[in-house]
Amino acid sequence: MAWSQTAIQPALAWGTRLLESVQPRADPSWSLPARQWANPKWALICALALFATCIHPPQGMPMRLCAIRLALGVDCPGCGMTRGLSHLWRGHWAESLAQHPLAPVTFGYLAFQSSFLILGGRARLRVVGLLNRADGALAGLFWVGLIAFMTFGLIRMWLELLGLAP
């Protein structure tokens, strides 16, 4: 076995044990938001995304990695989100909103989803109860957020295509 495999296997085993230790007993009767919040793998992904935006330079990378930007030459609906989140970590609200107006909402969502990893058992059950009771409102918020995200992105794309973007 190669050195990299022997070094990585214990780390993977430790990560798997950690995720299993925080896994609650998911009840199929829980609402979708409650089941999503109580998913330790999703919480870890959200925490890693927050960490990545914390270390990401707010001015952006030297090159763009967006496939839509590279193919069409216009920003996609998500372009600017990482830079916006990076500005939020540094307390630059105006710059964050200039990069992407939904960056504060996304930051709040990622932070809330990540909170699963640090809360204890009783607090987790209280949050699950709140999420179950607010299921209808959360579904409405999801659709409002998705429509706002797509509307902003499409308007920005059209303005760029027409040469009217600021």
CB hemisphere CA count around 43 (13 angstroms): 23
The pLDDT value recorded for residue 94 is: 94
CA-nearest of 98, 79, 73 to 88 is 98
The pLDDT value recorded for residue 36 is: 80
Residue 64 carries which DSSP code?
Answer: -
SS (H, E, C) 66-130: CHHHHHHCCCCCCCCHHHHHHHHHCCCHHHHHHHCCCHHHHHHHHHHHHHHHCCCHHHHHHHHHH
CA 118 to mean position of chain CA atoms? 17
The pLDDT value recorded for residue 1 is: 47
* d(C-alpha 163, C-alpha 166), whole Å: 9
Phi then psi dihedrals of residue 63, to 5 deg: -135, 150
The pair of three-digit structure tokens given for residue 80, joined into one six-digit string: 């600017």
* d(C-alpha 29, C-alpha 128), whole Å: 11
pLDDT in single tens digits along all 166 residues of the chain = 454 555 566 666 666 666 555 555 567 778 888 888 888 888 888 999 999 998 888 887 777 778 888 888 888 888 889 899 999 999 999 999 999 999 999 999 999 989 888 888 788 888 888 888 888 888 888 899 899 999 998 888 888 888 887 6
